[in-house]
Every structure is written in structure tokens, then in C-alpha cells.
Amino acid sequence: MLQYFGILLNTGVGCQEPRVLLQAPSNDKEKKKKRGTPTGQSGYQIFLKHECARLKAHDPEIDGKKVLRMAVDAWQKMSASDKEV
């Protein structure tokens, strides 16, 4: 007898029962990456991503919190028509 994930499997030589093989449980941390255009991102999230990258490239020594604060301030100062583009 062989124990596999808490189930006893009969592995004897003269055994007439078929062997049962169970697949190991998948790891939830290993998720497939989605390819192509990102879905579910709002214009705000896309703007923040690009604006933070631009600010960080302009001044690499700046703190991450300050970069985010500056990007959020820039978003708030934008007009509604600019936010839709």
C-alpha cells in the first residue's frame, strides 16, 4: 500500500484494481500572466504609472512617496476633458 495525499493506494503485484494517480494541488501564487492590453485599469491608474515614471526619470533621487504625491496633485489639477483622453 502506498499513501498519496492521505489516500491509500493499492500497489500490490497481483492487484486487480486500477492505480489511481492524483494531481498535486496547484500553487495559487503561480498565476499565468495576462498578455496584451491591460484590462481593468482606469485612466487614473494609467496616468499615475506614466507620470510617476516620468518624474522618477527626471529626478532619480526623489522619494517614492513624494513622486506619488506629485503625480496625484498633477491629476487633480487636470481638467475633466484632459482626463478623458
The residues, any chain, with a CB within 8 Å of residue 38's CB and separated by 6 or more, are 46
Domain extent listing, the chain: 40-85
Q: Is 68 exposed, middle or buried (0-12, 13-18, 19+ CB in 10 A)?
A: middle
- Fold category of 40-85 in CATH: DNA Binding (I), subunit A (1.10.30)
pLDDT band at 65 (very low <50, low <70, confident <90, very high): very high
Angstrom distance (rounded) from CA 53 to CA 57: 6
Average pLDDT of the residues in 13-23: 62
* Res. 78: pLDDT tops 70: yes
Q: What is the pLDDT of residues 21-46, one digit of tens each?
A: 666 666 665 666 667 665 678 889 99
* Res. 14: pLDDT tops 90: no
Place of cell 486500477: 18
Average pLDDT of the residues in 46-65: 93
- Name the average pLDDT for the chain: 77
